[in-house]
Amino acid sequence: MSTAVHDHPHGHDDHAHHPSGLARYLTTTNHKDIGTMYLWFSFAMFLTGGVMALVIRAELFQPGLQVVNPDFFNQMTTLHGLIMVFGAIMPAFVGFANWQIPMMIGAPDMAFPRLNNWSFWLLPPAALLLVTSLFVPGGAAAAGWTLYPPLTVQMGMGMDLAIFAVHILGMSSILGSINIITTLLNMRAPGMTLMKMPLFCWTWLITAYLLLAAMPVLAGAVTMILTDRHFGTHFFNPAGGGDPVLFQHIFWFFGHPEVYIIAIPAFGVISQVIPAFSRKPLFGYTSMVYATASIAILSFIVWAHHMYTTGMPVQAQLFFMYATSLIAVPTGVKVFNWVATMWKGSLSFETPMLFAIGFLFLFTIGGFTGLVLAIVPIDIQLHDTYYVVAHFHYVMVAGALFAAFAGVYFWIPKWTGRMYDETLGKWHFWLSFIFFNMAFFVQHFLGLAGMPRRIPDYALQFADFNMVSSIGAFGFGLAQLLFLYVVVKCIRSGEQAPAKAWEGADTLEWTHLPSPAPYHSFETPPMVK
């Protein structure tokens, strides 16, 4: 095996001198440094997008217009969505991929270390474009994160900044995906066949394919918006033979796989955490792999379930309804397997496991409401109501974000060599869990009663639930400052963590590497039986 590196304990000449301070992070080619940057960037964006969410919830605390004007409200909903999706959740999981994939497959680093650096450092300019757009004449893009024309064709310069931000974010994702696929296909330790990879690696392999297929389509869609805005094309203008609904088709051809781009790595984290704290191997590993792949493939033929109310032919509505319902089957397989993993396990409930179980409950609720929305006649009633907002926040926050928290608590002993404060971690979980449900569960009722989304004012009968939701949102936001404190405290003064910090964890990073993992791990690949 040509990766069988000669044993030069830390005498690796290519790495002997790396710069320190800021220059270290600007120029680093190390997957751990880059993973750390991804995670901190993601957290900073999470707070930025979170503050925008709180502006929204402050305005919606009471009926009437109190805090912001409607145009700024629309800018907040738009930027909140874009920043949370592209700035917070996606980079968080790429951060996990960077830290974990090389360690979990016994590789010395990612396949293209310099490209890896670039994938990360493309994010700050894109974030700068998005945030700057708030301060240009006309303000930021205010058409919702889905960027539907004709609104997006009519807006000011903020829209152009958002378009180029999306282009750069897409580049970052594509380059990152190429790196992840190549690493997983080409850098596994001898003996680690594909079907022996930890499930987290599998989920990222599949996610990377989704990104490669979906992000270029989004780039095409926003390019068409740009040329419609400034170069006189008529892609989305019926006067020139185009159609605004065309944008929705192209956008959701990207947008629905995007949902799984966010969810599938979360499934991967959960599939590592639940077995570790059940002290049992993952139930149905093979079926997990196939279920994940099935979800990914199906995600490309369900996009128009976001568009039932646009006047599609009934045949199309039926097709997309059935195809969407079909996704419940592999998703059900996964949920069943997680529960079966816990069945008769020797369970313990440290913070990662709490977040994983929280995920299991709440993600399943989000999945069920998704199934409700997949049904055409019901969706026509619920389209663009708070029911939809509740549904996707159950998937994005209680799904993806809770999984990210589970992942941080699970792996932080390996990353820092120190243990987090278990009591405070549990506080973080329970506060997040309770306030999350307070913020979003009531939104189901608001949506069922007909409250439209993305509107800064509402009818009086919605007042009570909105107040509850806003209190929950602020509580949830404050609870995340506790998370920041727990992480900083862990890094500064946590107790020393053993190499195998969790009794039931059995992947390579726990069994073959000390805590903290050395800067260069697996220059000599381990043999995997």
Partner 1 sequence: MSNASTDRYYLPQPSTWPITGSIALGLLGFGAAFSVNRLAAGYVLLALGFAVLIYMMFGWFGTVVRESVAGKYNDRVDVSFRWGMSWFIFSEVMFFGAFFGALYYMRVLSVPWLGEVDQKLIWPDFAPGWPIAGPGISEKFTPMGAFGIPALNTLLLLSSGVTITLAHWALKKGNRGALIGWMFATVALGITFLGFQAYEYGHAYSDLNLKLTSGAYGATFYMLTGFHGFHVTIGTIMLIVILARCIAGHFTPEHHFAFEGVSWYWHFVDVVWLFLFIFVYWL
Site for partner 1 in 129-188 (CB under 8 A): 129, 132, 157, 160-161, 163-165, 167-168, 171, 174, 177-179, 181-182, 185-187
Does residue 22 touch partner 1 according to CB under 8 A? no
Does residue 219 touch partner 1 according to CB under 8 A? yes
Neighbours of 44 (CB within 10 A): 15
Site for partner 1 in 28-67 (CB under 8 A): 28-29
Q: Where in the sequence numbering do the catalytic residues fall? A: 80, 109, 145, 172-173, 256, 258, 260, 271, 305-306, 331, 334, 453
Binding mask 198-217 for partner 1 (x = CB under 8 A): --------------xxxxxx
Binding mask 91-130 for partner 1 (x = CB under 8 A): ----------------xxx-xxxxx-xx--xx-xxx-xx-
How many residues are listed for the chain in this entry? 529
Does residue 526 touch partner 1 according to CB under 8 A? no
Does residue 10 touch partner 1 according to CB under 8 A? no
Does residue 319 touch partner 1 according to CB under 8 A? no
Least distance in angstroms from the C-beta of 512 to partner 1: 18
Phi and psi, residue 469, nearest 5°: -60, -40
- HEC string of 89-147? HHHHHHHHHHHHHHHHHCCCCCCCHHHHHHHHHCHHHHHHHHHHHHHCCCCECCCCCCC
- Under 8 Å between Cβ of 149 and 486: no
**Closest to 211 (Cα-Cα) out of 258, 179, 247, 273:** 258
- Under 8 Å between Cβ of 47 and 483: no
Site for partner 1 in 354-413 (CB under 8 A): none
Give the residue with the Cβ less far from partner 1, 10 or 12: 12
Does residue 79 touch partner 1 according to CB under 8 A? no
Gap between the Cα atoms of 37 and 145, Å rounded: 25
Q: Which of residues 9, 21, 241, 377 is near partner 1 by CB under 8 A?
A: 241
Q: Which of residues 64, 70, 135, 230 is near partner 1 by CB under 8 A?
A: 230
**In this structure, what is the dihedral angle of CA atoms 292, 294, 296, 298, given to the nearest 10 degrees?**
-150
Q: Which of residues 19, 70, 498, 514 is near partner 1 by CB under 8 A?
A: 19
Least distance in angstroms from the C-beta of 204 to partner 1: 14
Gap between the Cα atoms of 424 and 346, Å rounded: 24
Phi and psi, residue 452, nearest 5°: -75, 150
Give the residue with the Cβ less far from partner 1, 18 or 196: 18
